[in-house]
Amino acid sequence: MAKWDSVKPERDLYGSNLTETPTVDARRTEEVVEETVETGAKPLGLWADTWRRLKRNKLALVGLGIIIVFLSIGVVETAFYQAHLHIRSSSDTRANSHVAGYLAPYDPNEVNYALSPQGVGSPPSWKHPFGTDFLGRDVLSRVLIATRIAMLVGIIAVAIALTLGLLLGPISGYYGGAIDSVIMRIADIFFAFPYILFVLLIMSVLGQGFQNVFIAIGVLGWASFARIVRGQILSVKSMEYVEAARAQGAGDVRIIFRHVLPNSMAPVYVAVAMAIGGAIVTEAALSYLGIGVQPPESSWGLMIAESVQYLASGNWWWLLFPSLALTTTVFGFISFGNGLRDATDPKLKE
């Protein structure tokens, strides 16, 4: 082999051989091992990659744990409520007197004046860890039962808003033109009014009640989802796979709901987590103002409103525990939503 075919080492200006300085990896050993394993494995899918990065956000995992706990409580109490609906609606007071939940130790509506000798309730004890209210009702039982109301309002209200948003948003973004202008101007009208005042207006028309709460919240929440989906549709509808589906003769409905919408849902999932927390706060605010959930039903906002009237008497437990339940639940949804947003944002990928 000729001498010029051999690879000669690079030399500097003075003829000395150049040597590369070994680089130092400042990352932790666990991160290096994880990257090595993932590099050698096959590419991760969207949700696998999202979960991989979501696990690194400890606050998001805490929020997810909070959601699972309160959602489980809500599911159990809802199942019990439906299973004993015939007992609650019966006229037999003896059969209806001691109906507690699966998790609630006492009937949340059972009045016991012996536990409220001065009309301001009794402080926490072994039998009543959260104390009792001015009617002698167990606060722990009422907090657990109120979880059912909060979860139902949050999920059903957001489901209504999401359904409307997923119908109007893709139509607006895909067709554009006059249809887009009309839908977006209607959405602007919803955005123009203060949210809580608009909810109060709808509640004044529909009237008080549990069902009207999530109808009012759901009807007002569609505009946010429609705008998010519309923005995603505008960036996706010109992709090659959409043009290929159109060239194969696929109709507009199939293209929108089979090809375009499924690839535009990542930001929507983040918005859903945020919206559920907001719906729970709105329900608590409406119940606090007296136009949401009505007695004898239990709601965190209603319990807070009742406790404020007796706060001067020193019954701190009556205000503390519903407030903690409300704050913790909303914190869980917001933390998980923020973590999910960071995990699905392509700008934050390594």
Q: How many domains does the chain have?
A: 1
pLDDT tens-digit map of 209-249: 778 888 888 888 899 999 998 988 888 877 787 778 778 87
For residue 30, what pLDDT is reported? 56
Q: Is the peptide bond before 296 cis (omega within 30 degrees of 0)?
A: yes
For residue 106, what pLDDT is reported? 84
Q: Tokens 């609650």 — which residue?
A: 88
- Residue 117 inside a domain? The answer is no
Cα–Cα distance, 302 to 291 (Å, whole number): 10
- Residue 247 inside a domain? The answer is yes
Q: End-to-end alpha-carbon separation of the chain, Å?
A: 46
- Residue 299 inside a domain? The answer is yes
For residue 345, what pLDDT is reported? 66
For residue 65, what pLDDT is reported? 94
- Residue 206 inside a domain? The answer is yes
- Residue 29 inside a domain? The answer is no
Who contacts 316 (Cβ-Cβ below 8 Å, separation ≥6)? none
- Residue 209 inside a domain? The answer is yes
- pLDDT by 10s per residue, the chain, length 350: 555 555 555 554 445 554 444 445 455 555 555 555 554 555 556 667 778 888 888 898 999 999 999 999 988 887 876 666 545 545 444 444 455 667 788 888 888 888 777 777 888 889 889 988 888 888 998 999 899 889 999 999 999 999 999 999 988 888 888 999 999 999 999 888 888 888 888 888 888 877 888 888 888 889 999 999 898 888 887 778 777 877 887 777 888 777 787 777 878 888 999 999 999 999 999 999 888 888 888 889 999 998 888 777 778 888 899 999 999 999 999 999 888 888 876 555 54
- Residue 316 inside a domain? The answer is yes
For residue 304, what pLDDT is reported? 92
Cα–Cα distance, 279 to 155 (Å, whole number): 8
For residue 95, what pLDDT is reported? 44
- Residue 207 inside a domain? The answer is yes
Q: Can you give the CATH number for the domain in which 251 is found?
A: 1.10.3720.10
User: 256 is in which domain, residue-wise?
Assistant: 139-348
Cα–Cα distance, 308 to 54 (Å, whole number): 39
For residue 163, what pLDDT is reported? 92
The pTM assigned to this predicted structure is 0.78
